[in-house]
Amino acid sequence: MEAKLIYHYSLKQAFDGGILRPVDFLGVKAGLDTYESDSILIEAAKKTFIEQKKYNPVSIMIRTDRIHHAEYLLERYKSSGLNVDIVHSD
């Protein structure tokens, strides 16, 4: 994607300004199939989001390698009660 750079805001500035904060890894034992694994991950994300939201403004970012999988996950996360959206190249 070509675009003219009109402003540069570094990650350092974002950390220093409190816009970003370090990400903590949370290991979760996933299931035996994709549906079960997604369900376990969605519940872990939801639980963590609700807990962290008590103390900080937070967001969830879910990353996948296929647009159709992003659309599938969008519906799964929404059906769990989380307000999410997708961003992709199309």
Would residue 68 count as lying in a domain? yes
Q: Give the structural domain span for 49.
A: 27-90
Would residue 21 count as lying in a domain? no
Would residue 11 count as lying in a domain? no
Question: pLDDT band for position 1 (50/70/90)?
Answer: low
Residue of higher predicted confidence among 80 and 26: 80
Give residue-wise pLDDT tens across range 23-56.
888 889 988 899 999 999 999 999 999 999 998 8
Would residue 36 count as lying in a domain? yes
Question: pLDDT band for position 70 (50/70/90)?
Answer: very high
Would residue 77 count as lying in a domain? yes
Would residue 16 count as lying in a domain? no
Would residue 2 count as lying in a domain? no
Would residue 18 count as lying in a domain? no
Domains identified in the chain, total number: 1
CA distance 21 to 84: 20
Q: Who's near 66: CB < 8 A, 6+ residues apart? A: none
